[in-house]
Amino acid sequence: MKIRKDLAFMPDEDYAIKTFEIALNQDEELELILTFYPDEASSLTLRGYFIELEGLISWTMESEYPPRLKVES
């Protein structure tokens, strides 16, 4: 799992990376709660943060605004 910075006019940047494995049986569900502490507020160059999952199933948080995570100071 990656928390990435959504940078304007530049490639996105990794902020935090955590590796773990979850195994679920068919029709089994799991709710995860993610907490992170951003190092800076959103600005003209930092549009916010987003979550990205990589592995057997890959997923990236939608790029619309919202739901990207905007940080106010």
Structure tokens given for 68: 């990207």
**What pLDDT is stored for residue 65 in this prediction?**
66
Q: In which band, very low, low, confident or very high, does the pLDDT at 64 lie, cut at 50, 70 and 90?
A: confident
Residue that is written with structure tokens 């935090």 in the block: 16
Quick one: what percent of the chain has pLDDT higher than 90? 67
Residue that is written with structure tokens 């919202």 in the block: 66
Contact assessment for residue 18 and residue 1, using Cβ atoms and an 8 Å cutoff: yes
User: What pTM value is reported for the model?
Assistant: 0.81
**What pLDDT is stored for residue 55 in this prediction?**
84
Task: Name the average pLDDT for the chain.
Answer: 90
Per-residue pLDDT of 28-57, as tens digits, reads 999 988 899 999 999 999 999 999 998 888
Q: Domain map of the chain by residue range?
A: 2-60
